[in-house]
Structure 1
């Protein structure tokens, strides 16, 4: 196996790189410094903490997919964010996007400040991004080390070897002690033994010590540190470190690096004197019986306290698990690897669509069940919490016009929803996509009516008021017999029964979003009513809400075109050309539906009907009653009103419930 080592002290490394690679490195480093907290390197009067690499490695096995390096850079950026937190000296991260797994870890020495830690990390990243051959690499500095791989074993097993990575590295200094050699070796040997024995026994697997050499009035400095492993592995690694460093004597400096530990001694201070560790109790203990008895009593009290806390914790955990089981009743938990196989490792050929929250893949489970797998992309720390809320929410919602949740999965940074598969895809495909013009009027009316019933169920028939916030044509899925099912209501927020609106961060789609929500963040169920009205106009016209209707005299968006056509009684000019052969009854029916859609787009929101009222309006034989229809806000500043109907309608509440649940 060929192992490629980067000689970081030689200019040949840079000369051998391609210009395009250097340009990419420059861009990545520039982005890191522009989009993260600025870090100012702090000097240390007692140390030379320059970030000069002492060892590095770049693997020789080239990754099969270019996404590997994209994932690597994202993972390193996540680690940097963690290291910016005060007190964090060890961090891991992973990115498994598109099946290209990247696992990374970074360790700073405990004696460095946060700014020194991040500065060292940045120096390491600037080196690692140059590694374009291997699927694993690392770089070691005195202040830190960074490593990434396509496997995670090295987190807990530092001795794992793949593609040559894992070989210990132990450089010795090139200057011999000036004081009596025997005295120097005796003092430093005792220092190294203490480091070896105390590091695995310390609470944080880190020890920093000093020793005076009286004959020369000198001080020796040493540390031992085990990043992210257990005490047993730390002890094994520190035993090796001791043997190697002892072999450096009588030189005044030595280092030992392995994936499991780092150890160093030097006659030059590299940490402050007040940063040393008291190892007296760790190594020697106390022979007095009084402390032993006192310690025993304290230990028993502590044990009893821990037992009580553990019992309470178990009780609460069991109650929580019971509640979560109830929350997720009906939704199956799928294994991540099963979803990988079912989607052919999330291959491009299985992508059904891409939305604001992630990609949707076609999957075949158990070689027969066809489902849709929605892969959610992590953008911030709250995504997992939102995902769990989505699962708990939609696992309870069952309605013929709402897309059903079949299962879910949560694996590391990958979050999935397993949903019903809709063979006809989304509605927009039939309005302006590949199957444009194939829907007749009866099919379009049934789609409109089904969307209305689904929204009314979300607003009124569930124990929470669920507001979708993003109703649009590509969020309406169609069954094989063209029945609509509303998708992507998992990002909805709950509206308490006693509130009429809440202010929240905008999360809709411009062109479908009500003015009060888009401009002021005011969210109510009337926001969905507005979006429904826009979708109805799209279904009737076969045009996108943001498309411009162009002719010699005007350039109108969909909503304005609908209003002008209705106002001038030229509604036939508005409808889809594929629907021109309508009889008189169908034309009158469509005119009524246009009126309902325009009612839904009124402003202010109080002028809009509820979705329960819309369902009743859509029923055959139902009158719209006496209403004042106002020009929609987005169309023109001049307000115009048209009075429709003359008979006041009365609707019984039980009639509403009956229609909604048919």
Structure 2
């Protein structure tokens, strides 16, 4: 037995050396590593978890196992799976080879290895076997195929067509079996050949994910024809065909009845699609007819789409809007904590009504956020108008606003991972407003106090009272300035030029605050020349000392320091002038997620607005634009 293991390892090693040989007997990906450099405690947890996998296979006499070790906060989730045609002893042999190769991963805290007969995987950041939606890499690509170097004899077209049909049947049948596994043979009479095929999805995934993976596997294996062998490997599934026997004849799975159901359902689906198209056409004609007879809806009808709360109920729930229930105050009103129906905690925003404009702002906010749904945008639950009182009922965020964690009472309690997730969440929320909604929405007042945190510290963008629609055909609009100085882009604060890049600039300032733990407008004596945060960050960047910009309360390892410095550069990119040099928020999301550098982009000195400059230029801008107050 030991000799077999040694021989298999030697074969694997030989395969790994020949990187160009795509037709090797073993897949040429023994060590796929990613993530951060593992600590000694993590390696200890990983090794014990992999040992646990093998113990389960042996003791329980099974072909699939999963294990985890969460000791000391060094999370490790792992799984091992063998093909169902193996005996348990052969399965353990294969897993031993997989573990031997996966332990070569010394530069990452997550890895997987694919072999013909089994696969082994561990992750440090995701419970992938309880959450099948994380079976893929962050970039969505794990699968690869290997084609044999021998082709079938003539006629090739006949051989390719028969094997193609066979692979199509395997693709359709695998997700329909109880254990997501199929092994079958197809005899080709005029070739005097027998083709073996096996397909298996990971045991922890559902039928839908299995079908999606098998569709990809089929397309990849089809490209191998007329080769007599092809393999497809993925974290979600495995598929292979070959003229070399893969299993004994008594281990085949009868898929005849399964395919009958699949084929009949396809016919029903085609009929259903045709019928559905006809029905949709009739509905479209009917709707068009009704639209021509219906006048435009009023603003009040738009408001009725959300829940209209009773004013007295909200007054009671907030204890008559008492001081002890206040969650926060702003230029547009106060926010109160409220308990509705004796159990549901919500936030009630009470707008201060001074003139007709206040009601317009209220209607604007309700219209906007009642139609915007995203996990990083605060959700509107309802509203109320009674006399001069305008109320919004919003999600309650137990952890309050971000600024409290950066320089408020809770300063220093956010670690780097939490701060990174907050930065990414804000970016995703803004990208949704700018590009993924049916109209472009510019928030205009992105700042740390308008970022709320949920129980698990997920960021939610709040306060849409200043948001504006941007016409699709226009690159920017000219308007009077409303917002918060210190976060506002120069072209907007000084000249009233408004585009989505105004939010990008403000987001860059918020990143700098999150990284440094300092307010953008603070003037601290430890900064040279009493500069503001942006100028301070730029000068450190110019001197290649931006590591000194990091919040002193953060205890970062070397990898985290490097990452924070890259994100500092992204923040500076967001504050570039002119606005055309700034990235879109969708580009920012990609840079943050994929840990990308700035590429060919060159950073230039941002436009700094000092306190005295703000007073002079804003006053001039106000005069020219007829703005009475900011």
TM-score for both structures, normalised by structure 1: 0.47
More helix by share: 2
TM-score for both structures, normalised by structure 2: 0.49
Higher Cα radius of gyration: 1
